Amino acid sequence: MKLNKFGLSLMAFIPLLFLSGCETNMVVFEPQGPAARAILDLINWSLIWMLLIVVFVFGLFGYIVWKYRERKDNLDYEPPEEHGSTLLEIIWTGIPILIVIALTIPTVKTLYSLEEVPKGYEDKEPITINVTSADWKWIFSYPEEGIETVNYVNIPEDRPVHFKLTSASTMQSFWIPALGGQKYTMGKMETDMYLVADNPGSYEGRNTNFNGKGYADMQFEVLSQTQKDFDEWVKEVQKTAPKLSEKKYEQLLEPNNLGRLTFSNTHLEYVDHSKMDSKTYTNPDMYETHGYRGKTFEEEDNYKNKDASGHMNHDEHMDMDMDMEHDETEEASGGDHHGH
């Protein structure tokens, strides 16, 4: 049967469709640090097992279909009655267990190793960088250097970087594909990540956890520099960058997309969003009263005003009753609430 023009065109188009996927830059498969290499090794190990399973299953499927196909000499064949095979049941139960063990052991070992300074870098002092995610921007604080950047971070090459992750708003995910895996950032808590860049270069970081309309543009650049260039950059920022005031930080936390910003001090002077004590914390329910997302509230510990019996005093009862009456009045009148 001859193929028409449409069939020939389709046959030529299908290979091109598959080849078009080669244009994608798979950064995960081009690791630039020990953490990323450990993850790639784990991916490759998993792919090998998947490939073995797929080849075996499809090969066995093809063999069975071919061997037991209908032929002229077996048209009257009737399969024998069997009540199961203990040996076969042991085999097809044991093989999946062995596969799970083969995948679990290296996975657990790799995950635990990623929580520590990479091997070979234990003797090098890490640089600490506090990472605060907000809607829709990344804030990088260098507490030891006393500087802060927005939507970009500079790091020294071949030196461990200790990222301390938290959030001033919703839960987000911090990921630099070329250097390592991803980790969530959450308010009122802190998670740690250790990364190392082998060589100088520019790498892309991003948020992988959907958190609203500005999510797609929530990216940042990681610039790995020699230690000398990094030190010079720090000194230049300390001398030339403007100060970050508390009012400016309030504006910075407003939900929007920003370009790159640099400051010669850090917001840690005003608030640490990872702390869970009553002195500094993030309270999303108070946007209406306090005016912006991630506001720092300096409040007295309510428990200090309680008597020894654990009950509220008379004034506190009166204040609470008045607040409840005020809320009920607003609900009855259908009053509008304005907040971020």
Domain boundaries, the chain: 24-61+88-114, 127-269, 284-328
CA 198/CA 201 separation, integer angstroms: 9
Type of residue found at 98: L
CA 164/CA 272 separation, integer angstroms: 11
Q: Quote the pLDDT of residue 24.
A: 54
Residue 275 near residue 188 (C-beta atoms within 8 A): yes
Please report the sign of the dihedral spanned by the C-alpha atoms of residue 241, residue 245, residue 248, residue 253: positive
**Maximal C-alpha separation, the chain:** 98
pLDDT digits 0-9 by tens, 75-108: 787 877 777 788 989 998 999 999 999 999 999 9
Question: Taking the CA of residue 189 as centre, how many other CA atoms within 13 Å lie in the half-sphere pointing to its CB?
Answer: 9
CATH superfamily entry for domain 127-269:
Cupredoxins -  blue copper proteins (2.60.40.420)
pLDDT digits 0-9 by tens, 264-307: 999 999 999 988 653 444 444 433 444 444 444 443 333 334 34
**pLDDT averaged per 10 residues in sequence order, the chain, 340 residues:** 58 62 68 96 95 94 90 80 84 93 96 93 95 95 97 97 94 95 93 96 94 89 97 97 93 91 95 68 43 41 39 41 44 41
Type of residue found at 274: S
- At 170, list the tokens: 């919703």
Q: Quote the pLDDT of residue 201.
A: 96
Look at residues 156, 64, 153, 157 and name the one whose alpha carbon lies nearest to residue 165: 153
Q: Quote the pLDDT of residue 71.
A: 85
Q: Quote the pLDDT of residue 78.
A: 80
HEC readout, the chain: CCCCHHHHHHHHHHHHHHHHHHHCCCHHHCCCCHHHHHHHHHHHHHHHHHHHHHHHHHHHHHHHHHHCCCCHHHCCCCCCCCCCCHHHHHHHHHHHHHHHHHHHHHHHHHHHHCCCCCCCCCCCCCEEEEEEEECCEEEEEECCCCEEEECEEEEECCCCEEEEEEECCCCEEEECCCCCCEEEECCCCCEEEEECCCCCEEEEEEECCCCCCCHHHCEEEEEEECHHHHHHHHHHHHHHCCCCCHHHHHHHCCCCCCCCEEECCCHHHCCCCCCCCCCCCCCHHHHHHHCCCCCCCCCCCHHHHECCCCCECHHHHHHHHHHHHHHHHHHHHCCCCCCC
Q: Quote the pLDDT of residue 11.
A: 65
- Phi and psi for 53 in degrees, rounded to 5? -65, -45
